[in-house]
Amino acid sequence: MEFPAIPSFAPEHFAVVRAADAGRFKQFRRGIEQLDSEGVIQVLRSDLRGDQAPVLAAVGPLQFEVVTARLESEFRAPVTLEPLGYSVTRRTDAAGAELLAGQSEVEVLTRRADGALLAVFSNKWRMETVRRKFDDLVLEPLPAGSVGR
């Protein structure tokens, strides 16, 4: 018997995660990769922060607690989380990433799982303001089932 995949949804909560102990960075990296591959959380790459501080994307804040607990207990990698003020996600393209580069309350992140470019906005109002400013900007909603794997 085969069951359909559990649908995933567009994330609405974001946080930067860092290893609390630099000596445990290898365990931290292995834990992040494992949790990403399991679909526990989406791991996004930020050019602003680099690979030492990936951005975690979640549907709800409880996912951050699960990640923190698992990293500490299973991988012996204590972490610090810094919440980010984003709540709206849209898929964009390379041209869109260039247009969004200098905008406030907006960041373009790369999804590690598939390389998709995700534009994250502080709120829907900010997204609509930016959309009106750039006629050619590609901002596609993330339908259920398309996020992650």
pLDDT at 36: 92
Q: Is residue 71 part of a domain?
A: yes
Q: Which residue type sits at 136?
A: D
Using alpha carbons only, how large is the chain's radius of gyration in Å?
16
State the pTM of this model: 0.88
Number of independent structural domains in the chain? 2
34 and 80 together in one domain: yes
Residue 79: name the closest of 54, 60, 98, 62 by CA. 54
Least confident of 46-50, 76-80, 100-104: 46-50
Q: Binning pLDDT at 50, 70 and 90, where does residue 146 land?
A: very low
* CATH at 25: 3.30.70.3280
Q: Is residue 3 part of a domain?
A: no
The domain containing residue 121 runs over which residues?
88-133
pLDDT at 148: 46
24 and 74 together in one domain: yes
pLDDT at 17: 97
80 and 92 together in one domain: no
Residue 59: name the closest of 77, 39, 75, 32 by CA. 39
Q: Is residue 148 part of a domain?
A: no
Residue-wise DSSP of 101-137: TT-TTEEEEEETTT--EEEEESSHHHHHHHHHH-TT-
Q: Is residue 92's pLDDT more than 80?
A: yes
